[in-house]
Amino acid sequence: GAGVSQTPSNKVTEKGKYVELRCDPISGHTALYWYRQSLGQGPEFLIYFQGTGAADDSGLPNDRFFAVRPEGSVSTLKIQRTERGDSAVYLCASSATGGSDNEQFFGPGTRLTVL
Amino acid sequence: AQSVTQLDSQVPVFEEAPVELRCNYSSSVSVYLFWYVQYPNQGLQLLLKYLSGSTLVKGINGFEAEFNKSQTSFHLRKPSVHISDTAEYFCAVSSTGRRALTFGSGTRLQVQP
C-alpha cells in the first residue's frame, strides 16, 4: 500500500514569506507526527496529532509555526514570516494508534530553503 | 526529559567486516528503543525496536541490537557488512510519557570495498 507522502519535495522561499507543507499519512493511521531535521542532525520533534487534535505541540519552536489536521488524515504545517534558520528538511510520520511502542512510518520529507 | 547520544558521527569499515554503532540514552522512565536507517535520498526506515522481553533484538538486513539497562545502551551490530549498508543510522527513544521519538544525532556508516 501507499506510504506517507509529503508535498512539495522541495520548497525555496524568501525570508519573511509564508509557507505550507503537506503530509498525507498512511490510510487508517490515527497518529501523525512532524519532525524537523537540520543538516548533520537527527530529526527533532515538532508536533503530534491524535486524530484531529494536537496531543503534544511542545516541540514547536515559536508561534510562527502552526499545524492542522482538520479531518484526521492530511496535515498541513504552516510557517509564517520564514527565517533563514527555518531551512531544514521537514519530516512527517504516521503510526497506527499513536502508542509509544508503535512503529512510526516516515515520509521522504520536504526540503525547505529560506533565502 | 530523555536524550540519546550516538558517540560516533562516522564509522568507516571494510566490506565483510563486523560493525558496532553505539547508542546511549537517558530517561527517568521506562523506554522503548528504536534504530532507524536513512539511505541517501530516502526516508527513514525502521531497522529494529526493543519494547520488552528479550534484550537481544533482531532486525532487518542482518542487524541486531542489545538492550543493556544497567549501562543505558542499545548498540547496533552486524557481523558482516555490505557496500549496500552505507547509510546514516539513527538511534531513537520514546516512553509511555512521551510518544514522540527523541533521536540521536546519527552515525554515518561508510562501507569500503
pLDDT for residue B77 is more than 90: yes
Cβ contacts of A107 on chain B, cutoff 8 Å: 43
Average confidence (pLDDT) over B20-49: 92
Tell me if B58 sits within 8 A of B5, measured CB to CB: no
Interface test with B, best of A35, A38, A106, A110 (most B CBs within 10 A): A106
Q: The dihedral of CA B94, A87, B45, A52: what is its sign?
A: positive
Please give the share of chain B, as a percent, with pLDDT higher than 90. Answer: 80
A44 touches chain B (CB under 8 A): yes
Is residue A104 less than 8 Å (CB to CB) from chain B? Answer: yes
- Is A57's Cβ below 8 Å from some Cβ in B? no
- Taking an 8 Å cut-off on Cβ atoms, the answer to whether B44 and A100 are in contact is no
Q: B106 and A99 in contact by Cβ < 8 A? A: no
Lowest mean pLDDT among A10-24, B14-28, B73-87, B91-105: B91-105
pLDDT at A68: 97
Q: Least CB-CB distance to B101: which of A4, A98, A104?
A: A104
Cell numbers given for A87: 531551512
- pLDDT, tens digit (0-9, with 9 covering 90-100), for B50-64: 998 889 999 999 999
Q: Cell for A23? A: 503530509
Within 13 Å of residue B14, how many CA atoms lie on the same side as its CB?
A: 1
Model pLDDT, residue B1: 79
Report helix, strand and coil shares of chain B as percent, to nearest 5. Answer: 5, 55, 40
CA angle A108–B61–A1, rounded 5-degree value: 45
Alpha-carbon gap, residue B8 to B51, rounded angstroms: 24
Residue B97: its pLDDT value, please? 75
Residue B46 has a pLDDT of: 94
A44 and B103 Cβ atoms separated by less than 8 Å: yes
Percent of chain A with pLDDT over 70: 99
pLDDT at A88 over 70: yes
What residues of chain B, 64 to 93, have a C-beta less than 8 Å from chain A? 90, 92
Q: At B27, is the pLDDT very low, low, confident or very high (cuts 50, 70, 90)?
A: confident
> In this structure, what C-alpha cell is assigned to residue B28?
527517568
Beta-carbon pairs below 8 A across chains A and B? 63
Per residue in A16-66, pLDDT (tens digit) is 999 999 999 999 999 999 999 999 899 999 999 999 999 999 999 999 999
The pLDDT confidence band at residue A1, using thresholds 50, 70 and 90, is low
Q: Do A101 and B94 touch (CB under 8 A)?
A: yes
Please, where are the H alpha helices in chain A? none
